Amino acid sequence: MSYERALYSHRFSEAEGRLRQRVWEILCRDFFSRYVSSSDTVLDLAAGDGLFVRNIRARKRIALDTNPDVERSAKEGIEVIRCCAKEIRLHLTQPVDVIFMSNFLEHLPTKTDVLDLLNECRQCLTPRGRLLILQPNIRYVGAAYWDYIDHHIALTERSLAEALEISGYEVLELIPRFLPYTVKSRLGSVLGGLAVAELTTLYLRLPLLWKLFGAQAFAVARARAIPLNERADEKARTHTNEGNKAAASSY
């Protein structure tokens, strides 16, 4: 068994696994469905056990991960791609309408890898496509962010927004505090012993609770017509050309 499979097979107990499944059913039904149309093609990046992609309604659903466990999603009519995130374009046959990633960026080794991935995603989206990111926010998680050995990159909602903007996106929506950090958190423990469906539904309807318990940021972004990084390159080329013309005219 690889380190990755060992980590995720032992990270959550069976009871916590059942709780996560029920919570994601409600999250997709009552919240994430606002951003996904039934006519969309959706890519769940680093899908893992497929809690998002198996519960969201869309015309076409794609689960991408290197973990062999992702193959389980194929039984539910979901296209499965086994590859690393930086190779998305090599395996997609056409652009997608929505890319979703949950709790993934913190696992990348460097911030350059984060920016490279965001650029890769932008090039895989349709012109009006959307990128949805659910991400632990170290501003509110604090030291517990490092309780998991596979966490490398720490992001706040502001650094996430900045990364998106310089990678060619327009940030359409940014919620600094949305979901609790994990089912192992205080609220997760409460849910585990009570009516999960009712309490999760109530939580989503009361944003005031997000400010008390939320430790994950949620961002919705769309690709710009001309990305900022390409604008900077174009501006540099323009200055260079103008400088060359001025130099030529001086002879």
CA 12 → CA 17, 63, 157, 167, 184, distances in Å? 6, 21, 26, 34, 8
pLDDT of residue 173: 98
Measured CA to CA, the distance from residue 160 to residue 137 in angstroms comes to 9
Which band of pLDDT confidence, cut at 50, 70 and 90, is reported for residue 190? Answer: low
Mean pLDDT of 110-129: 96
pLDDT tens for residues 15-64? 666 788 899 999 999 999 999 999 999 999 999 889 999 999 999 999 99
Total number of domains constituting the chain: 1
The dihedrals phi and psi of 82, each to the nearest 5 degrees, come to: -95, 100
Which of 66-70, 156-160, 234-238 comes out lowest in average pLDDT?
234-238
Mean pLDDT of 138-151: 94
CATH code for position 189: 3.40.50.150
User: Which residue segment(s) compose the domain that 57 sits in?
Assistant: 3-249
pLDDT of residue 196: 80
Q: How many CB atoms lie within 10 A of CB 136?
A: 24
| pLDDT > 70? residue 199 | yes
- What does pLDDT average to over the chain? 86
pTM of the model: 0.84
Which band of pLDDT confidence, cut at 50, 70 and 90, is reported for residue 1? Answer: very low
Mean pLDDT of 163-192: 82
Query: Which is more confident, 61 or 84?
Result: 61
45: Cβ–Cβ under 8 A, 6 or more apart, which residues? 64, 85, 88, 99, 100, 101, 104, 121
pLDDT of residue 154: 96
Measured CA to CA, the distance from residue 221 to residue 238 in angstroms comes to 29
